[in-house]
Amino acid sequence: MEDRYTPTISEEERAARRAQRAAAREKKRRARRRRQLVLLAPVAALILVAVGLVTAWARREPEPMEESPAVQPIAQVEKEPDPEPEPLWTPVETADTIHLDDSLPSAYAVVIDRADGTILAEKNSEAVISPASMTKILTLLVAAENLKSLEDTVAITIEITDYCYVNKCSVVGYEVGETATVRELLYGTILSSGADAALGLATYVAGSQEAFVELMNEKLEELGISDTAHFTNCVGLYHPDHHCTVRDMAVILNAAMDNELCREVLSAHTYETAPTEQHLEGQVLSNWFLRRIEDKDTSGIDVIGAKTGYVAQSGNCAASCGRAGDGSEYICVTGNTYSSWRAIYDHVELYKTYCN
């Protein structure tokens, strides 16, 4: 068996090698610590700054606190009271009111002093009647309160002319496609009692007769007469739900005479429309009631506004406003007499007898 060579190391060499390894480990340890210190230095600096700031804040002298101003109570703003609504113009009987008998041909009548609503004379004035074309006074009033411009134009449609033809309405005489200004339609509604003009206004103001009638009934509520007055159309056709009393019609006419535009229209004896392709010379419109009563003896009462009406269910009826020489004004409304002339003569007698 071959012998192997095994070197021998003295104890001195082993000790020296151990010392070298220990020195090397120490060198590495110191180098590692130096790297750690380099890395930790910024963190330590930040910590020292923070500690310094906290210490300085803790040692500062506290600033005296300003006293908060006393909380002031919110001032109570005194709300102005809502303005008192104007009192409704309401016809009122007194001990001096005359109750008329059948010597007056009209079945229904009322004469009222506009100044205070005092009823001077009456006959069945709280009975519900068909107002016929006196309805158009309210049509005029609602249109006047809701129009945009008097010079706006409205085209007459076949729906309007057909409605008038089927229901045998009185008309101005507009043709399909003819245009009229709003101003002309206002006059046509009253002077000619034109259903075509009234329907043109209703369409212009509200888009349809149905929507316009809603405005009319709202106005009746505003006037305080909706308990007995209710309308279903803007032209005055008979309908069982289309009704009012002569007192109600007096309230409507009174409101219309308070409106400057309505007063102007109701007071016109004639009005001439502008020429159109269909009416090359225009049309002359007339308020026959005013033209017929102006030369009658009313003992100084000047009739300054009026609208008539007729359907079979109402007979001949009329609503007018008269003015005395001293400026006093009166409302007279009659219903159900046998002719348009008789309605005029009844108004003449009522003004002559009770307004002087």
pLDDT tens profile 135-162: 999 999 999 999 999 999 999 999 999 9
Helix and strand tally (H, E) in the chain? 10, 10
- For the stretch 36-60, pLDDT in tens is 665 666 666 677 666 667 666 666 6
Sequence length of the chain is: 356
**Cα dihedral value 184, 190, 195, 200, nearest 10:** 30
What is the per-residue pLDDT across 225-264, written as a single tens digit (0 to 9) for each?
999 999 999 999 999 999 999 999 999 999 999 999 999 9
- Interior angle at CA 213, CA 209 and CA 218, nearest 5: 155
> Looking at residue 119, which CATH number applies to its domain?
3.40.710.10
On whether residue 309 sits in a domain, the answer given is yes
Query: Does 4 reside within a domain?
Result: no
Q: Return the residue matching tokens 């790297």.
A: 35
> CA 295, CA 290: separation in Å to the nearest integer?
9
* In a domain? residue 245: yes
Percent of the chain with pLDDT over 70: 77
Give me 69's structure tokens: 């101003």
Q: What does the DSSP assignment read for 118-155?
A: BEEEEESTTS-B--GGGHHHHHHHHHHHH-S-TT-EEE
Is residue 17 predicted with pLDDT exceeding 70? no
What's the structural domain count of the chain? Answer: 1
pLDDT (0 to 100) of residue 39: 60
Say if strands 119-123 and 108-113 run parallel, antiparallel, or are unpaired. Answer: antiparallel
Q: Residue 187 in contact with residue 268, Cβ under 8 Å?
A: yes
Neighbour count for residue 276 (Cβ, 10 Å): 17
For residue 214, being part of any structural domain is answered with yes
Whether the CB-CB separation of 285 and 271 falls below 8 Å is answered with yes
How many whole angstroms separate alpha carbon 289 and alpha carbon 277?
A: 30
Question: How many C-beta atoms lie closer than 10 Å to residue 349's C-beta?
Answer: 19
Confidence of residue 86 (pLDDT cuts 50, 70, 90): confident
Which range of residues forms the domain containing residue 281?
Answer: 98-354
Q: Return all residues near 304 (Cβ < 8 A) that are at least 6 apart.
A: 266, 267, 321, 322, 323, 329
Phi then psi dihedrals of residue 236, to 5 deg: 105, 10
Mean pLDDT of 327-353: 98
